[in-house]
Amino acid sequence: MDVAKETTVEPPEVPTNGTSSAGSEDAKGTIITNATMEEAAPSPTSQTTSPNSKKRALPEPSTAQGPESKKIKESPPPSSPKLDEDPTVQTFPSPPDYPATKLDKETWQGFCDIESEPAYFSVILREAGVQGVTVREVFAMTPDLLEMLPQPIYGLILLFRYREFGKEDQATNCPANVWFANQLPGQNSCGTLAMINILMNTEDVEVGEHLQQFKDFTKDLTPYQRGEAFASFDYIKKIHNSFAKKMDLLENDKYLSYKVKRSKYLKEQAAAPKTKIKTNPRSRSRRQSADSTATDDSAEGYEDNAYHFIAFVPVGNEVWKLDGMDAQPTSMGSFSPEAGETWLSGASDTIATLMAAGDDDYGVVALTQSPLVPLRREACLTINTITHIETRLDTLNPTWRSFVPDDEEPTSPRMLGLESDLPHHPVPPSTQARTDEESMPDLIERRSRMIKELSKVAASIMQEMETKAQEDHKATQRRYDSGPAIKKWLEMLAENGYLEANLDRFMPVKGGKGGA
């Protein structure tokens, strides 16, 4: 950031949130001026073992010269930027030593980085209102392992170190039946955008009120216009940025500031008059290459500092690669369900080829139907069938319960949270007709068998509910910002001299071996 150097210009006015530049009279509780440092410093005769205390005890030559206001103007702190010169400076309402508040996250205009963790993605989808979809990790792109995932698989997301591939195969224009949105520069939204690109092309998923309205609103827009709409979609942005820590926000702002300054520099270089200067041709060639091709938006720049998410999704009988960094979607081939082909075979081959051509630093996750959907449906149908059998037994013999063990009772639908779902899964007419024709012994035997089946289904439901609870807990832990606590802890260790006394133990030594 730029530093104010004029001695006759007053420092920027201090906002009420306490994040202003140093030297202001309203910031005495936050910034230590020269006068306050003199008051807080120990006397020259006092002894201290803390490195920080020694630093503060150093004499300040400016404290005895001139009035206090003049001293502030002559020695502005290096951390005081000119806010009007750098539009990317972010001022947070919360104090610097506190975690990012909900207001900080909701008013921040970017997208934070999120790890490729299926639990985080599952929580984002649930909180966005998507029903019956979960995210699972794919350990290998083989048919056997893919079949072990919950079915159906709505789409695959590949995380890899960014590099361009298949750019020449992009469609000229986005087909009408494919929903695709671009990722805008400076936005770390590729993970969430990849999920949105998949969900917007899936017909059999209830995406919730907000996402359905977003889909209807953007159906006639171009990919770039959809990307703009997504970048300003506050509903999703708030859920995404709920995982942000204050350091994430600051790092993203710093990177965006660098991109802005570099873009300005390149424009100035291009507009500057060219002068003939005798230079080393080899050095000149290198300089031009670094300034013209290795920009932050190029493949070379992303290869050094960025990972990227891209989506693979079936639309009709074609497999599409939806990469937000591409201008248009890319068709990866077609498949024929009538011939027993699935879209996963073509997508798997493409992903495997991409992995083999690069490094080993990649990951794949799948958007699948939640296992709870078929399990709850099966449990509801089984419970309704058992109830119908019991009604038929009451008609045949009201004392039929004396012929069954006392502990043979079906699992309660309330325990499984199925009470509201039962009316949506009635007993099929064929099953009702079969029940009405069976004798009492056959009905009692079938009831006993179905109770055992229900117990197994209930156990699977409880296991999936526990998995869901673990995902929520993992997301809660990820959202907790421990940075300020760690900073305070290190400050305390520095104050009591522990860091200085033990620093050598953790410093690398010659030969590549660490300390003791």
Active-site annotation holds for 190: yes
Catalytic residue of the set 112, 174, 240, 308:
308
DSSP per position, 436-453: HHS-HHHHHHHHHHHHHH
343 to 20, 82, 149, 357: CA distances (angstroms): 56, 55, 15, 22
Q: Do residues 37 and 121 touch, judged by C-beta distance below 8 A?
A: no
Backbone angle region of 316, left / alpha / beta, with phi > 0 → left and psi within -120 to 50 → alpha: left
Q: Which of 112, 174, 190, 380 is catalytic?
A: 190
CB 135 within 8 A of CB 365: yes
Kind of pairing between the strands at 153-161 and 362-369: antiparallel
Return the structure tokens found at 143: 């048919």
Which residues contact residue 195 at a Cβ distance below 8 angstroms, ignoring those fewer than 6 apart? 121, 124, 125, 135, 157, 311, 367
Residue 144: alpha-carbon gap to chain centroid: 29
Rounded to the nearest 5 percent, the helix, strand and coil shares of the chain are: 50, 10, 40
Q: How many residues comprise the chain?
A: 516
If we measure between CA atoms, which residue out of 244, 213, 234, 251 comes closest to residue 120? 244
308 has catalytic annotation: yes
Structure tokens at 515: 């300390």
DSSP 339-402: GT--HHHHHHHHHHHHHHHS-S-EEEEEEEE-THHHHHHHHHHHHHHHHHHHHHHHHH-TTGGG
Active site residues: 190, 308
